Amino acid sequence: MDRAGSVAPDADTAGVAGCAISEQWTDRLAVISVSGVLDMLTAPRLSAAITASLSGNPSAIIVDLSDTDFLASAGMSALVAGREEAGAAVEFRVVADGPATSRPLKMVGLADLIGLHPTRDAVRATLSA
């Protein structure tokens, strides 16, 4: 975890099965960025990244799917599980805006449950001070 604010790809997830996951911290805000394919092979890596971020005692976690090309049901399940794992003490939000990511989340009714927003700036406007 790089609290200095630079994006540091996780060695276990960079390029694995067409998916890269990185984490960036600003104060107590953790941003997990996912690029590529989020499916049954790569969703466990997202779950692990969320769990690792939670161990850093964040006030909020943003999962950014802006560069995600494909979101399978396993990826959606990882987001729901991450939201539940975060509990009430940690604000949990997801950034997704596109047919491959936000559309399926909206279609299956998860947008409100996971805190879906189109941009990081839109998320930051919703976070507690």
Give pLDDT tens digits for 12-47.
444 556 899 999 999 999 999 999 999 999 999 999
Report d(CA 104, CA 102) in Å as an integer: 6
> Do the domain assignments include residue 1?
no
- Global model pTM greater than 0.85: yes
Nearest residue to 10 (alpha-carbon basis) of 27, 39, 30, 40? 30
* Mean per-residue pLDDT, 101-114: 95
> Do the domain assignments include residue 109?
yes
Report d(CA 123, CA 94) in Å as an integer: 8
User: Looking at 14-129, which runs of residues are DSSP E strands?
Assistant: 19-26, 29-38, 60-71, 91-95, 116-117
Nearest residue to 12 (alpha-carbon basis) of 24, 25, 2, 22? 22
Residue 72 carries which DSSP code? -
> Do the domain assignments include residue 129?
no
Query: What CATH number should be reported for the domain holding residue 114?
Result: 3.30.750.24
Q: Looking at the 3D structure of the chain, how many domains does it have?
A: 1
Nearest residue to 128 (alpha-carbon basis) of 95, 79, 89? 89
Model pLDDT, residue 17: 66
